[in-house]
Amino acid sequence: MAARNTNNKVKVGVKLVNDHAKLPTKGSVEAACYDIFLPDDVYLAPHSTKAVGTGLAFSIPKGYRLDMYLRSGVAAKTPVRLANSVGKVDSDYTGEVKMLLTNEGGIPVRFYQGDRICQFELNKVLDLQLEET
């Protein structure tokens, strides 16, 4: 087994902007993403889209972005999807991060405070030099 470098952590500031918000956590040591806990109950009417607050504002280092994904269990068990498939949060955005959730089904869906429906990972942003060819 190859040795792992454990000193490559990137600091990301997180501000709790809702009284019920919790810091994101990883489900296991090897998890690629951090789970986000809902700070409030959420009701999604059939065939509707809603911006749902996470209760979190991030201080993302320059040169990085947060990529937000729906948790696979939510995708497998409900008709709820992220409207933009993968949410992207740029380093210059400092407001509350929201999830754009769509209920594609014909029945209402409810989530409750503390449910984990989305997750995020931090990724590097590559600076490109575009050349017309």
Each residue's pLDDT tens digit, 79-115: 999 999 999 999 999 999 999 999 999 999 999 999 9
Cα(100)–Cα(124) distance, integer angstroms: 23
The mean of the pLDDT values for the chain is: 94
Q: How far is CA 49 from CA 67, 75, 81, 84, in A?
A: 19, 15, 9, 11
What is residue 124's predicted lDDT score, i.e. its pLDDT? Answer: 96
Dihedral angle sign, alpha carbons of residues 31, 82, 74, 25: positive
What is residue 66's predicted lDDT score, i.e. its pLDDT? Answer: 97
Residue 89's DSSP bridge partners are: 66
Residue 2's DSSP bridge partners are: none
Residue 61: partners with Cβ closer than 8 Å, 6 or more residues away: 10, 11, 12, 91
What is residue 7's predicted lDDT score, i.e. its pLDDT? Answer: 67
**For residues 2-15, average pLDDT:** 76
Residue 2 reports pLDDT greater than 90: no
